[in-house]
Structure 1
Amino acid sequence: MQHGVAVVGFALLSISPVQAAQRSSTSLVRDLYRTYAWQAISASDAPFGKPLLQEKETVLRRYFTPELTSLLLADQRCVASTREVCNLGFDPMFASQDPAASDLAIRPTGSQTVMVEFTYPSNGEKVTLEYRMVRRGDQWRIDDIKYHNWQKASLKQMLSHKPARGQP
């Protein structure tokens, strides 16, 4: 029994700091998809809970930096007050108004970048999202998402625009 404990201990010690950091940043993105991927398979949130973009600040802060959380909340308030699309007219996890994905893969490309790649089932288009990660203490948060299929447009850029005329 002691031999097994020593092997596990050695295995844990043999993980480099870079590998541990990649695992942690990647784990956060995996958790985001594990929690909210239902949006790609169900039109109803009743059995699952709120969609990501309707979540409260405390939930958004589990995944996003304070700056990105503030921008998401500002867009929520705009939508609530105008009952129209403000800056964000799509699901940021799927780069689409109608979330769908097949062959979804999540992989680290460095300690501060996590790539999500999938295919839209309806047209076979390959989609690449680049999650920019920031470490605060021992916690990773998503600071931005770059959409490679949209000339590397950024979620933060889109949310930073003032809403169209007639919107607060």
Structure 2
Amino acid sequence: MVNSWNANTLSDQPQAILKKYFTPQLAAALRADSKCAADNHDICALEYSPIWGVPDAGVGALGLKLDVGAKPGSVLVHYKVASTGRLVELRYQLVKLPVGWRIADIIYPGGVSLRSDLGIAE
């Protein structure tokens, strides 16, 4: 599979790339947060890597494991942060759109969600 990303971070991706992985609403919110951060030269809504749920996406993940979640469209992601050994569990909530499955939300430890951090109402 060829990596179609053309920037260093998830949030820096063009809208067309983000829509390959996220729902249109979540893709738009990620781009808006990236634009806010670039315009203000500061952190806006997200202080962490959305995919990994940790501040530094480059820390590395060990023992990555995927499991089917309890709810339809739910995928549990388990990994260990390489630099600290901390175990992390994330719940990816997927929805099926006419173009295929897309990430609609990511629930982080403690119950915080990507949608809520980006200010998207449930």
Normalised-by-shorter TM-score class? 0.7 to 0.9
With over 3 angstroms needed to count, the CA separation of the structure-2 counterparts of 1:81 and 1:115, relative to structure 1, is same
TM-superposed CA distance for 1:111, in Å, is 4.0
Which is strand-richer, 1 or 2?
Answer: 2
Could you list the runs of 5+ residues in structure 1 that have no partner in the other structure? 1-30, 37-47, 162-168
TM-superposed CA distance for 1:156, in Å, is 0.5
Q: Secondary structure at the match of 1:105?
A: strand
Read off the aligned partner of 2:89 and give its amino acid letter.
Answer: T
Matches within 5 A, 1:1-168: 49-50=6-7, 51-99=9-57, 100-109=60-69, 111-137=72-98, 139-147=100-108, 149=109, 151-160=110-119
How well do the aligned residues superpose, as a CA RMSD in angstroms?
2.2
With over 3 angstroms needed to count, the CA separation of the structure-2 counterparts of 1:85 and 1:60, relative to structure 1, is same
Please tell me whether the aligned partners of residues 12 and 34 of structure 2 are also in contact (alpha carbons under 8 angstroms).
yes
Report 1 or 2 for greater relative contact order, CA contacts < 8 Å, sequence distance ≥ 6.
Answer: 1
Structure 2: distance between partners of 1:65 and 1:123: 32
Structure 2: distance between partners of 1:98 and 1:69: 21
TM-superposed CA distance for 1:59, in Å, is 0.1
Which is helix-richer, 1 or 2?
Answer: 1
* 1:51-104 per-position Cα deviation (integer Å, ceiling 9, x unaligned): 211100000000000111111111011012101110011111111121221111
Based on CA coordinates, which of the two structures has the bigger radius of gyration?
A: 1
Read off the aligned partner of 2:67 and give its amino acid letter.
Answer: R
Structure 2: distance between partners of 1:52 and 1:134: 20
TM-superposed CA distance for 1:138, in Å, is 5.5
Which of structure 1's runs of 4+ aligned residues deviate more than 6 A? Answer: none
Q: Secondary structure at the match of 1:87?
A: coil
TM-score, normalised on structure 1? 0.63
